[in-house]
């Protein structure tokens, strides 16, 4: 069932304010005002009597402690509360595996061991400090805010996980005020709940073995997750819990309203630098609050109050870097998590992957952030089901990657103690039981290739049909998210799908992906524009800022231009270094334009009024070269009032100006024209001569200007030729860059496959070593034959019945001398191959020095295919001698021996 979008939870602190609850959604956390005015009340029986379940005047406990145990955990419960003070302010909730058909006596049995009230939990009971609540029989217990919820009846026994269910709700409602304790019991219930508590910043403990009779299945399973903070004897668990409470009390005043310590925030860069240097992973782009909470968790576990002391401990202790790395990578996953989303993916989108696909065109899937492999195997199961229903022969390769080497190793081993989220039909069809573990069938396991991979640092795969990356992006800041989304866009084929988590969004990436299922967060690659693949480096380091998309560049230009020209408020143009207009202002720009004849152009000087071009060109070049603003006053505009010119570059820190603003404003220095006056004829002639000279100068100036314009046009033509050549070189460079990116992707894929083969080779080598030691040390003579009776292998003891040497492997057994008085070997082997039964005979050596029981069985491969036979020879010489001696002692008595010779052979 999907988690509700809004839930009431307790504030994130050890000392929680009873006046305020918090409304938590996937996107925001907002305080809700005091609930006192609503008029809610709770009756004495614990049942709801008003409009709400919570009494607003009750002070919640400082910590809520969930304790899980199996049916044999009564002794552990008693010991725990014998050592637990009664005035800690905590509330305790006991979840035990109970018989659903019998009334529990746990409440009565625990009362003598604690001064705290011990009650059976009732639906709508508000938590109270210094009180113990016990789960009732045949019920499921959970927590909503500070209120217990009891649902009856509980699920069927095979689906019942009462501890996991309560711990998950405890984690969500109490966050870092939650404590989970696993006491003795059989099974693995509680392990997933421990993960949930750690994910939300809580504290976890488990009982250690203390004698040979302790049932340690549940504590051992919880400890195996690597997420238990303290493993100790049940007598010392209360002390560990009180130390944790005292630590939270000390550091509470240092936390902000969001529960994060500001001193930790100030040291984040130093801590992430240590992780980057030691682990080669860069966490600087992860969300600060997430990092702070994880660091605070490690400080709680180590009982270190000063962040400076913790940073020093991190630098000196290599193991602490690994521990913090584990803390940062906590993930709660299971098979088919968010089942509705997987159903939508399978029903609406995966079938399109088979449309028009040739059998030799494999389906390629990338599961990014695969954790322990459940999601990768879930995708494999869905694709295998679709292959069967569509009767398609396409090959499927699933690349499953994660930065956690331990998680990758676990996923590669593919041995799951618990299978959550799978139906019984799928479990029986796609998994086989091997001891206590469930193992994927061969066809499912072979579809998946596991490898370590860093989404931010390492090159991606290519030609991928489907990428799933669920609940990974939510931990990253915007820059890292954008970088990863660019990587995914590059890796996908045209029309490929991206499957993300329910809390993740692509509001910034609408140019790269379109939403095809908004509810289930399924996206499709947009093919209109190719995303720039980020630059990948072999080692973690400072990540360069990703290239901004065009719409974001335009937004920055608008903001910069408005900021620069706010004090001038003129009509303006924004031009680049090639004098091309990239933006017009909203003012009266038309009065300054006088386009030249010929082809249309955005070149400013091909459109600007001729009388302004010379001065504006000089001012623009000065602004570009000096990086400073240039102003000129009282420029003459033919037939119009004079104007002032302002040319100012748009400055980018650390870069030369690439854009300038060219603005015009009406000049305040307009000179009044002189009134006409009477002049003498001599002065008139002189004035006419001056005017004639002035017109001649104007004509000369215009000719010079036109010549200059012609030279500029010639220069522009040469520049365009150079630009054309440069574009060709740039195109070639882009082709080379694309080829390099493809080579990076292919190399990453080869490394992934090589890593998978290396892991399989190690397992195979170990299996071969074990098999060789078994063959060398077994006392049973065994010969392995193929369908053509050729010797595949044999044990050293087989040399007692056949004249075998090491070089006889690969020879027909009929060519090897037998030391047995037996000539029906080929006939019996053919009988076994035909009937698939077992042939058994008692045989003697030719010199009658030994007697054997021979059994011939079919040789079955892992895929249950018959491929030859296995012949074993059990030496029963001693048993036969004892049998003959017994017969001699009994003489010719009519009483038959009670023990046959064949019984000795068994």
Active site residues per annotation: 70, 97, 189
Tell me the two tokens of residue 164: 């996991």
CA torsion sign, 129 to 132 to 136 to 139? positive
Whole-number Å distance between alpha carbons of 208 and 218 = 11
Q: Are 833 and 866 in contact (CB under 8 A)?
A: yes
Which DSSP letter does residue 786 get?
Answer: -
d(CA 656, CA 339): 54
CA distance 264 to 260: 8
Q: How far is CA 494 from CA 57, 175, 526, in A?
A: 59, 42, 7
Taking the C-alpha atoms of residue 762 and residue 764, their distance in angstroms, rounded to an integer, is 5
SS3 848: coil
What pairing do the DSSP bridges indicate for beta strands 363-368 and 396-402? parallel
* Cα of 449 vs its chain's centroid, Å: 16
Assign 3-class secondary structure to 124-192: CCECCCCEEEECCCCCEEEEECCEEEEECCCCCHHHCCHHHHHHHHHHHHHHHHEEEEECCCCCCCCHH
DSSP 518: T
Comparing CA positions, the residue from 265, 243, 245 lying closest to residue 254 is 265
Q: Where are the alpha helices (DSSP H) in 567-648?
A: 604-607, 610-626
Q: Cα dist. 645→236, 562, 585, 650, 661 in Å?
A: 82, 17, 15, 16, 10
In angstroms, the Cα distances linking 733 to 88, 487, 491, 722 are: 70, 20, 20, 16
Does residue 467 contact residue 497 with C-beta atoms inside 8 Å?
yes
SS3 472: coil
Rounded distance between C-alpha atoms, residue 829 and residue 834, angstroms: 9
Question: 598 — alpha (psi -120 to 50), left (phi > 0) or beta?
Answer: left
Please give the full DSSP string across 200-267, using - where no structure is assigned.
TT-EEEEEPP-STT---HHHHHHHHTT--SEEE-TTTHHHHHHHHHHHHHHHGGGB-TTS-BHHHHHT
Q: Comparing C-alpha atoms, which of 145, 156, 173 is closest to residue 100?
A: 156
Residues 642/669, Cβ–Cβ less than 8 Å: yes
- Name the strands in the sheet holding 21-24, side by side, starting at the edge strand that comes first in the sequence: 7-9, 21-24, 29-32
**Neighbouring C-alpha atoms within 13 Å toward the C-beta of 505:** 6
- The secondary structure element, H or E, covering residue 457 is none
The owner of tokens 């009406």 is 666
Helices (H) and strands (E) in the chain, counts: 24, 31
Rounded-to-integer distance, Cα 806 and Cα 858, Å: 23
* Contacts (Cβ under 8 Å, ≥6 apart) of 718: none
By three-state DSSP, how is residue 444 classified? helix
């Amino acid at each position: 069932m999907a988690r509700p979008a809004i839930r009431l939870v307790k504030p994130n602190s050890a000392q929680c304010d009873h006046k305020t609850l918090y409304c938590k959604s996937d996107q925001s956390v907002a305080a809700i005002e005091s609930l006192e005015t609503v008029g809610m009340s709770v009756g004495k029986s614990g049942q709801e009597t008003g409009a709400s379940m919570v009494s607003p005047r009750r002070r919640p406990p400082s910590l809520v402690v969930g304790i899980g145990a199996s049916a044999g955990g009564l002794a552990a419960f008693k010991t725990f509360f014998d050592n637990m003070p009664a005035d800690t302010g905590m509330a305790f909730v006991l979840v035990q595996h109970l018989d659903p058909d019998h009334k529990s006596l746990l409440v009565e049995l625990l009362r003598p061991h604690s001064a705290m009230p011990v009650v059976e939990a009732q639906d709508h009971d508000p938590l109270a400090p210094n009180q113990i609540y016990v789960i009732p029989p045949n019920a499921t217990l959970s927590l909503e805010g500070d209120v217990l919820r009891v649902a009856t009846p509980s699920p069927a026994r095979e689906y019942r996980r009462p501890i996991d269910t309560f711990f998950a709700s405890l984690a969500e409602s109490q966050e870092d005020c939650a404590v989970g304790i696993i006491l003795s019991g059989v099974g693995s219930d509680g392990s997933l709940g421990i993960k949930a508590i750690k994910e939300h910043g809580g504290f976890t403990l488990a009982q250690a073995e203390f004698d040979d009779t302790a049932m340690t299945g549940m504590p051992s399973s919880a400890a195996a997750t690597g997420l238990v903070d303290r493993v100790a004897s049940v007598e010392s668990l209360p002390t560990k819990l009180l130390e944790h409470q005292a630590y939270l009390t000390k550091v509470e005043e240092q936390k902000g309203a969001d529960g994060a310590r500001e001193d930790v925030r100030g040291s984040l860069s130093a801590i992430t630098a240590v992780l980057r240097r030691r682990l080669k992973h860069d966490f600087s782009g992860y969300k600060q609050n997430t990092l702070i909470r994880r660091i605070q968790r490690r400080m709680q576990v180590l009982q270190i109050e000063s962040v400076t002391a913790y940073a020093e401990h991190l630098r000196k202790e290599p193991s602490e870097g690994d521990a913090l790395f584990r803390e940062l990578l906590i993930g709660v996953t299971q098979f088919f998590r968010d089942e509705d989303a997987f159903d939508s993916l399978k029903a609406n989108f995966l079938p399109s992957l088979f449309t028009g696909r040739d059998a030799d065109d494999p389906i390629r899937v990338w599961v990014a952030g695969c954790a322990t492999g459940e999601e990768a195997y879930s995708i494999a199961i869905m694709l295998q089901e679709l292959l069967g229903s569509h009767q398609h022969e396409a090959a499927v390769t699933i690349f499953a990657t994660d930065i956690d080497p331990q998680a990758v190793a676990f996923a590669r081993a593919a041995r799951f103690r618990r299978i959550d989220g799978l139906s019984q039909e799928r479990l029986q069809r796609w998994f086989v039981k091997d001891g206590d573990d469930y193992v994927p069938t061969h066809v499912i396991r072979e579809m998946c290739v596991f490898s370590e991979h860093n989404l931010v640092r390492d090159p991606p795969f290519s030609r991928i049909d489907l990428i799933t990356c669920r609940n990974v992006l939510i931990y990253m800041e915007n820059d890292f998210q954008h970088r990863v989304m660019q990587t995914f866009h590059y890796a996908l084929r045209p029309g490929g799908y991206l499957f993300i988590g329910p809390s993740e969004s692509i509001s910034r990436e609408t140019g790269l992906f379109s939403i095809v299922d908004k509810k289930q967060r399924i996206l499709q690659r947009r093919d209109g524009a190719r995303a720039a693949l980020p630059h990948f480096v072999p080692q973690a380091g400072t990540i360069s800022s990703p290239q901004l998309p065009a719409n974001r560049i335009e937004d920055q230009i608008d903001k910069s231009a408005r900021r620069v020209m706010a004090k001038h408020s003129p009509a303006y143009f924004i031009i680049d270094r090639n004098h091309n207009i990239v933006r017009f202002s909203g003012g009266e720009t038309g009065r300054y334009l006088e386009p030249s004849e010929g082809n249309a152009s955005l070149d400013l000087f091909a459109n600007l009024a001729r009388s302004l071009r010379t001065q504006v060109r000089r001012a623009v070049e000065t602004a570009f070269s000096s990086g400073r603003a240039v102003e000129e006053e009282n420029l003459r505009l033919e037939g119009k009032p004079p104007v002032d010119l302002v040319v100012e570059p748009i400055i980018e820190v650390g870069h030369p100006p690439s854009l300038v603003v060219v603005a015009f404003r009406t000049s305040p220095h307009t000179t009044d024209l002189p009134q006409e006056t009477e002049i003498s004829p001599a002065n008139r002639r002189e004035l006419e001569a001056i005017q004639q000279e002035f017109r001649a100068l104007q004509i000369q100036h215009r000719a010079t200007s036109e010549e200059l314009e012609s030279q500029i046009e010639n220069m522009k033509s040469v520049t365009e030729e150079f630009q054309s050549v440069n574009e060709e070189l740039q195109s070639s460079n882009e082709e080379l860059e694309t080829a390099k990116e493809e080579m990076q992707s292919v190399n990453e894929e080869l490394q992934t496959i090589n890593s998978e083969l290396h892991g399989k080779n190690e397992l195979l080598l170990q299996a071969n070593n074990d098999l060789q030691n078994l063959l060398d040390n077994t006392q049973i003579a065994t010969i392995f034959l193929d369908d053509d009776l050729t010797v595949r292998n044999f044990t050293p003891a087989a040399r007692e019945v056949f004249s075998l040497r090491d070089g006889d492997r690969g020879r027909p057994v009929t060519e090897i001398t037998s030391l047995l008085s037996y000539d029906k070997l080929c006939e019996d082997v053919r009988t076994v191959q035909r009937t698939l039964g077992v042939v058994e005979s008692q045989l003697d050596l030719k010199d009658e020095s030994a007697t054997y029981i021979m059994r011939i069985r079919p040789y079955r491969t892992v895929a249950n295919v018959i491929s030859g036979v296995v012949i074993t020879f059990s030496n029963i010489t001693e048993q036969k001698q004892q049998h003959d001696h017994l017969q001699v002692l009994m003489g010719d008595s009519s009483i038959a021996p009670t023990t046959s010779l064949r019984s000795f052979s068994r």
